[in-house]
Structure 1
């Protein structure tokens, strides 16, 4: 039994050291943003839009399903990408509805009054990273092969 405990001691010492050297949560600066990771399928093709200041952004929607198969729920996330010129922008715009993606972004809640004067809250996600996990099957692709 004592040899078993001795074999665990180095791991216990490392765990104790790791907790002592880890940064405390409260030492982080306060931000109005949180990091969000979403894996799901594009609900529509991404669209290029201009902001009020004239800056171009790409907006798209990702649907992520969860829950048991017989009672599956889908959550929809509106994503905004501040699209630079060039290949990255073209890459985003080349994705089509149904593409399986992994998106990491900064999320923030915004409260506003709608046209009827009711207070509404929306989740805003600004894309930091995107990875295409699987492109949708296309009948045209099969005929070309």
Structure 2
């Protein structure tokens, strides 16, 4: 009875973690929880494709460790610039306002600088490209909550 199972384990297909087939693509994801730094803006590409650009501010927490004299630097703020090419999501994004606390998932791409570009321009510098995947509103700004 167990000989068939033993045969399958010894001579059948074996898949070890390190030899398993890889996915057809690799993904780099970024998760942000922060506030919209300004109202989302509708923009168009050079080929007249509409997209929405928005900025999420996050606070680096916990703050850095104390200095040798015991003082502590304040936690810094990071600004993340995202774009969305999804028309269904864009209508929703346009309704959000500055100060809205959001949970965002985005695809992350690091673009290397153009070696022929001037290093003082954006094309001559390494850029982080964040493409919007999902967004969830966690809290609206206080000015919108006055009716509650």
The alignment's TM-score, normalised by the length of structure 2, stands at: 0.68
Per the alignment, do residues 141 and 80 of structure 1 end up closer, same or farther by CA in structure 2, a change over 3 Å counting?
Answer: same
1:24 deviates by 4.8
Aligned CA-pair RMSD: 3.0
User: Secondary structure at the residue paired with 1:67?
Assistant: coil
User: Secondary structure at the residue paired with 2:82?
Assistant: strand
Unaligned runs of 5+ in 2: 1-13, 64-72
1:136 deviates by 0.4
- Say which of 116, 131, 134 aligns to 1:126: 131
1:41 deviates by 0.4
> 1 or 2, which has the higher helix percentage?
1
**Cα separation, 1, equivalents of 2:51 and 2:17:** 35
Could you tell me which residue of structure 2 aligns to residue 10 of structure 1? Answer: none
User: Secondary structure at the residue paired with 1:91?
Assistant: helix
Unaligned runs of 5+ in 1: 1-19
Aligned partners of 1:33 and 1:108 also within 8 Å: no
Q: How many residues align?
A: 122
Per the alignment, do residues 117 and 32 of structure 1 end up closer, same or farther by CA in structure 2, a change over 3 Å counting?
Answer: farther
**Cα separation, 2, equivalents of 1:25 and 1:97:** 48
- Say which of 35, 41, 46 aligns to 1:41: 35
Per the alignment, do residues 112 and 21 of structure 1 end up closer, same or farther by CA in structure 2, a change over 3 Å counting?
Answer: same
